[in-house]
Structure 1
Amino acid sequence: MRNPVVTAVTTASLIASQIAIPAFAQTTTYPYPMPKPQLGYDRDYAGTIRCESYGNRQQRCTVRTDNRVDLTRVIGGRCSKGRDWGFDANQIWVSGGCRAEFRYGYAGGYPGGDFAGTLNCESWQYRYEQCNVRTDNRVELTRKIAGKCNAGRQWGYTNDYIWVDKGCRAQFGYGYRNTRPPEKDKGPSTGLIIGGIVVAGGLLALLASQKKKKADGTADESVTTHPPQGPATLSANLSGLPSGSRPSVQNCMTDAARQIGITGGTRLSYDRLIHLEQGNGGWRIRAAMTATYPDGAKQIEMYCRATPSDIIQLDFS
């Protein structure tokens, strides 16, 4: 006759083991050190948010970002940073149909100790100023003091310095503290000063991708392939655009022609409109264009946000 006590214990053990099995099946082995328990994507961030553009309209999602935002998941549309989404200290914006999820801010406040150091770099009387410091190609604007400070327009950086222009006065965090920079260099920031003109990062990348090889087979490291010139000749018939948009669009085209010229181009032609949208006292335009250089024509896409008197953002792809 079976002992009822033993039977009860055995049955209880089997039930307990069956309950425990799924828990072990879900266990994940992590490399050292093991991460701390997380809520959401990453407790290093203050939080996550969805920001979505419907009908290609711009949408602003108000949130304190501390000037730190990363795209974690594209929900729909094209989401290119600087063209379809961006941010400042107080908001994230999306446009052109971009729908995405973003991480933002810092858990527990801004971690100033993460940088090698901070410095103030200030443009007085709208003059260009260069602040020499080793950045390890990592710079973030931590506090705006005065003026407009749009990355690639009024400030930027290289491995050796941070620059500001047109009245931007700000504090920047730079480099890495007690850590090595990533092995893959990020390269310069979204804009560089060439001949006193801020050249968009997209145009620099386009030219860099088409550099000619030297005799030894290595790429030419110069920023531009051709000698800088004055503004490229602009050919743009804007009569088909809404009359209210033309001053802003013309401002974009004129600045684009200056950038093409300073990188060695001779002509810039407006081919067709891709998207045009009004907002915040100005206009956003995406257009297909042709830039002519001594070695041939290059098909480019221009994205610009501007008012009749000010360029907010200009880039190429």
Structure 2
Amino acid sequence: MQRIRAGWMGVLVGVAAGALWSAAPAVHAQEREAVRCGSDDGRFSRCQVPWRDADLVRQESNSPCIRGQSWGVDRDGLWVDRGCRGQFVEMGRGGGWRGDGRHDDDRDDDRDADREDGGGWHPGPDWDREIRFQCESNDKQQQFCQVDVGRHGRVHLLQQLSGTPCEEGYSWGWNRAGVWVTRGCRGLFSVDRRW
């Protein structure tokens, strides 16, 4: 009787070990799967990823994907901007694509600097300034007026130019890539652009 129990226990242990061994490659494969993230209509967008840092493995947009300019990773996750669309993987699993014409070998020197200054790229001395422009929703259609607001910038409506109301969050709004208007809102806007 004990031999039968011992035999069954051996079979069960073998089946369990085989199941775990065959499941392990599937888990490993899932870790290596790419996440697609895209900036639609040039707008700033975020994608949730389970990693602390990422590599671009395939650019899928005509707009360039350059780390620190049109994509990056910060405390809130992976972000894309300026029309960049691509496939991203956990850093160190990518295999060479940088999107800026350089190879992975060049990346190690930049990695620490990128983390310290938020992406490595800094705008010129005339970056932090006010930009005024009109943005108009003609025929009550949504319109996007592209202006790089910067990471710490703000947008204000200076003057309503339409008969229909311009209310932030209802008929106009903004993100890092610019200002949108809809429902007939036409206005003069001020971007307080700050890096």
Category of TM-score, reference length = shorter chain: 0.3 to 0.5
Q: Under a length normalisation based on structure 1, what TM-score does the superposition of the two structures give?
A: 0.26
Q: What is the TM-score normalised by the length of structure 2? A: 0.39
- Rg (Cα) greater in structure: 1
